[in-house]
Amino acid sequence: QALLEESGGGSVQAGGSLTLSCTDPSNSFSGGCMGWFRQAPGKDREQVAFIYRTRGTTTYADSVKGRFTISQDNAKNTVSLLMDKLKPEDTAIYYCAADKSTCVASLLFGRRGFDYWGQGTQVTVSS
């Protein structure tokens, strides 16, 4: 059984919306940090949005603040990312990531702070 199961993504025009979901079937990360990184062609993998599952506190990259919203459904062990007002520069493969530490601790090390990853899902925004 995969530790993280991603769904969502797809193609949309600029200004549109998409939702990504990441499920933790075994509830391994109920006390840790879950969220998304993204990687565009030729670029490094960058942080997008994260939630500390114990307290529900959230962290966003400046580039997505006010447009993206991360939330959790504890009954379903699922974290979701609602992406509004999408821009062409949001085009990337989005990777769900999780770690058993707090988000503050995990994000100190960037992508290296996360030991568990989803398979990635493509998001394409056309102008």
Label residue 7 by pLDDT band (50, 70, 90): very high
pLDDT at 3: 85
Q: What is the DSSP string of 77-116?
A: TEEEEEE-S--GGG-EEEEEEEESS-HHHHHTTGGGG--E
Query: Span 13-26, mean pLDDT?
Result: 96
CB hemisphere CA count around 33 (13 angstroms): 25
Query: Predicted confidence band at 82 (pLDDT cuts at 50, 70, 90)?
Result: very high
Give the distance, in angstroms, between the CA of residue 90 and the centroid of all CA atoms in the same chain. Answer: 13
